[in-house]
Structure 1
Amino acid sequence: MGINDLDLNLLKAFIAVAEEKHFTKAAKSLFVEQSAISKSIKRLELELGTQLFLRTNRKVELTTKGENLYLRAKEIIQLTSDFVSYAHDTEQELSGTLKFGAESPISFLYIPNVLEKLAKEYPKLWPMMFTETTSNLANKIKNREIEFAFMFYEAERLKELEYREIKKVEFQLVISPKTSKHAKDSFIGSREINHQSAHLPTFEKLRRKNKNLFIKYSANDIMAYKELILKGLGIGLLPKEFVKEEIKDKRLKKIYPELKLSFPIYLVQHGSYPLTMEAQKLIELISASI
Structure 2
Amino acid sequence: MIDSAYEAILPILRDDWGYSPMNLRDLRYFVALADTKHFGKAAERSFVSQPTLSAQLKKLENYLGVQLIERQPRRVTLTETGAKILPLARRILQESDEIISLARNEHDPLSGKLKLGLIPTIGPYLLPLVARRLRKQLPQLKVMLYEYQTQQLLEKLRDGEIEVAILALPVPMDGLESRELYHEDFNVAVPNNHPLAKKAHIKLDDLSGETLLLLEDGHCLRDQALDVCNRIDVKENEDYRATSLETLRQMVAAGLGITLLPDLATRGPFGSGQGLAVKEFARPVPTRTVGAVWRKSTSRTEAINAMCEVIKTAMAE
Give TM-score scaled by structure 1 length. 0.55
Q: Taking structure 1 as reference, are residues 178 and 117 closer, same or farther at Cα in structure 2, changes over 3 Å only?
A: same
Q: 1:117 to 1:154 in 2, by over 3 A?
A: same
Question: Which residue number corresponds to residue 275 of structure 1?
Answer: 300
In the alignment, structure 1 residue 209 sits paired with structure 2 residue 241 = no
- 2:120 is aligned to 104
Task: Determine helix, strand or coil for the equivalent of 1:200.
Answer: helix
Decide whether aligned partners of structure 1 residues 269 and 220 sit closer, same or farther in structure 2, where only a CA change above 3 A counts.
Answer: farther
Q: Contact 1:103/1:132 (CA < 8 Å) preserved in 2?
A: yes
Q: Given that residues 197 and 203 in structure 1 are in contact (C-alpha distance below 8 angstroms), is that contact kept between their aligned partners in structure 2? A: no
Deviation of 1:105 (Å): 3.1
What are the ranges of 5 or more consecutive residues in structure 1 without an aligned counterpart?
1-86
Contact 1:189 1:236 in 2 (8 A): no
Is the Cα–Cα contact under 8 Å of residues 190 and 278 in structure 2 kept in the other structure?
yes
1:22-77 Cα offsets, whole Å, 9 max, x none, are xxxxxxxxxxxxxxxxxxxxxxxxxxxxxxxxxxxxxxxxxxxxxxxxxxxxxxxx
The aligned amino acid for 2:228 is T
CA distance in 2 between partners of 1:112 and 1:253 (Å): 21
**Displacement of 1:251:** 2.9
Q: Which residue of 2 aligns with 1:160?
A: 175
Q: Deviations over 1:10-33 (max 9, x none)?
A: xxxxxxxxxxxxxxxxxxxxxxxx
Matched residue count: 196
* Alpha-carbon contact 1:187-1:216 (below 8 Å) kept: no
What SS class does the counterpart of residue 252 from structure 1 fall into?
strand
- Whether the 8 Å CA contact 1:95–1:125 is kept in 2: the answer is yes
Report the 3-state secondary structure (helix = DSSP H, G, I; strand = E; otherwise coil) of the residue aligned with 1:286. Answer: helix
Shift of 1:151: 0.8
Q: Name the counterpart of 1:237.
A: 260
Matches within 5 A, 1:177-188: 177=192, 184-188=210-214
CA apart distance, 1:213: 3.8
Give, in whole Å, the separation in 2 of the partners of 1:93 and 1:165: 22
- Equivalent residue of 2:276, what SS? coil
Match of 1:175 among 190, 193, 196: 190
Q: Which residue identity does 1:191 align to in structure 2?
A: D
Residues 255 and 159 (structure 1), Cα distance of their counterparts in 2 relative to 1, 3 Å cut:
same
Deviation at 1:257, TM superposition (A): 4.9
Q: Secondary structure at 2:256's aligned position in 1? A: coil
Q: 1:184 to 1:176 in 2, by over 3 A?
A: same
**2:314 corresponds to 1:289:** yes
CA distance in 1, matches of 2:186, 2:169: 13
Amino acid at match of 1:209: D
Give the aligned partner of residue 218 of structure 1: 241
Residues 191, 255 of structure 2: 8 Å contact kept: yes
1:148 aligns with 2:148: no
Shift of 1:253: 4.4
Counterpart code for 1:262: T
TM-score (norm 2): 0.51
Taking the aligned partners of 1:178 and 1:145, their CA distance within structure 2 comes to 46
Residue of structure 1 aligned with 2:226, choices 189, 200, 222: 200
In structure 2, how many angstroms separate the alpha carbons of the residues matched to 1:100 and 1:197?
A: 23
Give 1:196 shift: 8.8
Residue 94 of structure 1, CA deviation: 4.2
Post-superposition CA distance 1:199-222 (Å, at most 9, x none): 9312423xx233x44444334533
**Distance across 1 between alignment mates of 2:276 and 2:224:** 31
Counterparts in 2 of 1:108 and 1:195: CA distance versus 1, 3 Å:
closer
Q: SS of 2:121's equivalent?
A: helix
